[in-house]
């Protein structure tokens, strides 16, 4: 941190990079003042414990997270979202070590719901996963820098991503709660619509699903099911979690159909499957193919809530997205209410 | 790796077996638990696609090293 004699910002940026405290992009050198403002933005004490990562012998203290939020370029008013996301990261259900360290190289996907998303100007519309919106770019970045600098999750050491993915820089967006076919995600997960919340979800890939001809839910959802049942799916043992981001014209098809969230989830459970014979031929299951395997199906999801349905993206266009999860036997998405500052 | 560290902390001798590309990760994990230099065994990578026979052969080759490290108590 800079002292009374402020060093040149450009040399500080280089110094932070050389010490391995960045994600490779230039950071905003924090100051005593900016860190204090970040803490005040979330009403946090410096020494307040946001959580711990038992598998890493690490206690996560608010000041360290605030420093990383400043490094990431967050504004102080973003800090409540960052703090809630870090609390989610530390939740036992998220089982941090797996998605953070696995060769699969998961992005920590942050889905923001409720009034705070609009207040901060988080993008939920066109290019929701892309560039151009400061809260989207910096909130997720603050979480990743916290993982690197506080939880020591550095590439090649305790982050063993084989390829990683670009979402590891930042992957944060708001749900589009207008014209929604169903209740928003945080409400489906037990919070009141008036609350704000952030859901953290680990995914190692993003696959965009295209369908311009579908006018009813069934053909559209068959495409989702197909995308979620490819032979290279990490987990073919049936304890998956998946995030489906329904966008544009697809949202409208589902809204007009009147299908409930539960109906969509049930349809997807029923149709996301492969024949055991296919899985064995592809060496995704061990053993010789038997005649019975040709007609035996393996289903990839167990429970409706294992399929997280979210709406985001621009209104025009026939694209949605599937984001396979890290596997809910070990890691589950966690939704954390965002503390509002009085 | 973490299991072995926790066993050691509880006073139970243990050996972690790590495939070679994960050496740096094993060292980082030991350091984060305040046990830099913690000794563990390395084996060739990968192992997930080996057959039973090859796995047995690798395990046989490892036994003596496991016993030596457990008996040595030199950590």
Answer yes or no: do A101 and B32 touch at CB < 8 A: no
Is residue A310 within 8 A of residue A333, CB to CB? The reply is: no
Does residue A276 surpass a pLDDT of 90? yes
Does the pLDDT at position A292 exceed 50? yes
Q: Do A150 and A289 share a domain, yes or no? A: no
User: Residue A86 CA to chain centroid, in angstroms?
Assistant: 12
Number of domains in chain A: 2
Supply the pLDDT for residue A330. Answer: 82
A179 shares its domain with A264? no
Query: How far away is chain B from the Cα of A115, in angstroms, using its nearest Cα?
Result: 39
Which of A312, A90, A341 is closest to A180 using CA atoms? Answer: A312
Is there a single domain that holds both residue A143 and residue A210?
Answer: no
Place of tokens 């890290």: A326
pLDDT at site A341: 53
* Nearest by Cα to A27 from A74, A71, A78, A79: A71
Could you state, in order of their start, the residue ranges of all structural domains in chain B?
Answer: 2-72
pLDDT reported for residue A57 = 87
Cβ atoms A158, A105 nearer than 8 A: no
Report the DSSP beta bridge partners of residue A307: A242
- Say if CB A17 and CB A26 are below 8 A apart: yes
Q: What is the pLDDT of residue A328?
A: 67
- Say whether the peptide bond before residue B46 is cis (omega within 30 degrees of 0): yes
Q: Do A177 and A217 have their domain in common?
A: no
CA distance A161 to chain B (A): 12
Residue B19, pLDDT above cutoff 60: yes
Nearest to A209 by CA among A127, A130, A317, A321: A321
Q: How far apart are the first and last CA of chain A?
A: 29
Q: Are residues A247 and A215 both part of a single domain?
A: yes
Distance separating alpha carbons of residues B67 and B75, to the nearest angstrom = 14
Q: Which residue has the tokens 């994990």?
A: B29
The pLDDT score that the predictor gives to residue A342 is 41
Q: Do A160 and B25 touch (CB under 8 A)?
A: yes
Q: Which chain A residues contact residue B34 at CB under 8 A?
A: 57
What percent of chain A is modeled with pLDDT above 90?
89
Confidence band, pLDDT 50/70/90 cuts, at residue A273: very high
Question: What would the mean pLDDT of B3-21 be, rounded to a whole number?
Answer: 91
With an 8 Å Cβ cutoff, are B33 and A152 in contact? no
Instruction: Return the residue of A nearest to B35 by Cα.
Output: A57
CA dihedral sign of residues A197, A198, A200, A205: positive
**A56 in reach of chain B (CB within 8 A):** yes
Same domain for A214 and A151: no
Rounded CA separation A94/A89 (Å): 6
Q: How far apart (Å, rounded) are the C-alpha atoms in residues A6 and B63?
A: 59
Q: Which DSSP symbol is given to A325?
A: B
Q: Is the pLDDT of residue A260 over 50?
A: yes
In terms of domains, do A122 and A135 share one? yes
Residues from chain B that touch A57, judged by Cβ atoms under 8 A, are 32-34
Q: Are residues A154 and A174 in the same domain?
A: yes
| pLDDT value of residue A308 | 97
The verdict on A168 and A209 lying in the same domain is no
Q: What is the pLDDT of residue A340?
A: 60
- Residue with the bigger pLDDT between A23 and B61: it is A23
Structural contact between residues A257 and A217, judged by C-beta atoms closer than 8 angstroms = yes
pLDDT-based confidence at residue B73 (cuts at 50, 70, 90): low
**Selected residue of A52, A54, A57, A148 to mutate for chain B interface (largest B Cβ count, 10 A):** A57
Beta bridge partners of A58: A53
Least confident of A77-81, A247-251, B39-43: B39-43
Q: Please report which confidence band the pLDDT of residue B74 belongs to, taking 50, 70 and 90 as the band edges.
A: very low
Neighbours of A97 (CB within 10 A): 19
Give the C-alpha separation, A59 to A164, whole Å. 25
Q: What is the reported pLDDT for A6?
A: 73
**DSSP letters for A153-176:** --BTTTB--SS--GGGT--EEE--
Residues A5-35 have pLDDT tens digits of: 678 989 999 999 999 999 999 999 999 999 9
Q: Are residues A110 and A162 in the same domain?
A: yes
Contact A107, A179 (CB under 8 A): no
Do A28 and A41 have their domain in common? Answer: yes
What is the residue range of A269's domain? 205-325
- Across the range A62-76, mean pLDDT stands at 98
Residues A45 and A127 reside in one and the same domain: yes
Name the least confident of A29-43, A100-114, B43-57: B43-57
| Residue numbers in A near B25 (CB within 8 A) | 101, 157-158, 160
More confident position, A24 or A56: A24
Helix and strand counts by DSSP (H, E) for chain A: 12, 12
How crowded is residue A162: how many other Cβ atoms within 10 Å of its Cβ?
A: 10
pLDDT digits (tens, 9 = 90+) for A88-99: 999 999 999 999
Measured N-to-C along each axis, helices A134-149 and A79-90 cross at an angle, to the nearest 10 degrees, of 40
What average pLDDT is seen over chain A? Answer: 94
């Amino acid at each position: 941190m800079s002292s009374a004699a402020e060093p040149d910002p450009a040399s500080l940026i280089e110094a932070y990079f050389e010490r391995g405290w960045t994600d490779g992009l230039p950071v905003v050198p924090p100051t005593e003042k900016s860190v204090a403002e970040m803490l005040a933005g979330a009403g946090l004490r410096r020494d307040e414990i946001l959580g711990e990562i038992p598998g890493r012998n690490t206690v996560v203290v608010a000041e360290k997270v605030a420093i990383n939020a400043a490094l990431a370029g967050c504004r102080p008013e973003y800090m409540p979202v960052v703090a809630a996301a870090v609390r989610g990261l530390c939740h036992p259900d998220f089982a941090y070590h797996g998605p953070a360290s696995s060769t699969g190289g998961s992005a920590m996907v942050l889905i923001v719901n409720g009034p705070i998303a609009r207040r901060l100007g988080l993008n939920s519309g066109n290019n929701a996963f892309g560039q151009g919106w400061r809260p989207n770019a910096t909130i997720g970045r603050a979480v990743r820098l916290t993982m690197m600098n506080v939880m020591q999750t550095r590439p090649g050491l305790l982050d063993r991503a084989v390829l990683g993915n670009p979402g590891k820089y930042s992957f944060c967006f708001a749900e589009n709660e207008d014209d929604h076919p169903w209740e928003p995600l945080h409400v489906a997960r037990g919070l009141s619509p008036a609350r704000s919340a952030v859901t953290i979800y680990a995914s190692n890939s993003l696959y965009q699903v295209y369908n311009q001809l579908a006018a009813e839910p069934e053909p559209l959802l068959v495409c989702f099911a197909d995308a979620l049942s490819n032979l290279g799916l990490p987990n073919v043992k049936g304890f998956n979690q998946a995030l489906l981001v329904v966008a544009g014209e697809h949202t409208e098809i589902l809204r007009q159909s009147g299908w409930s969230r539960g109906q969509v989830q049930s349809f997807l459970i029923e149709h996301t499957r492969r024949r055991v014979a296919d899985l064995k031929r592809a060496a995704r299951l061990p053993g010789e193919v038997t005649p019975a395997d040709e007609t035996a199906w393996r289903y990839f999801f167990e429970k409706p809530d294992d399929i997280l349905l979210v709406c985001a993206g621009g209104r025009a266009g026939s694209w949605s997205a599937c984001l396979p999860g890290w596997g809910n036997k070990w890691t589950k998405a966690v939704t954390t209410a965002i503390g509002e500052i009085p | 790796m973490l299991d072995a560290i926790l066993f050691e902390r509880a006073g139970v001798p243990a050996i972690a077996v790590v495939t070679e590309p994960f050496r740096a990760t094993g060292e980082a994990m030991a350091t984060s638990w305040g046990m830099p230099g913690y000794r563990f065994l390395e084996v060739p990578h990968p192992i997930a696609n080996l057959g039973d026979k090859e796995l047995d052969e690798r395990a046989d080759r490892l036994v003596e090293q496991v016993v030596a490290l457990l008996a040595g108590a030199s950590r």
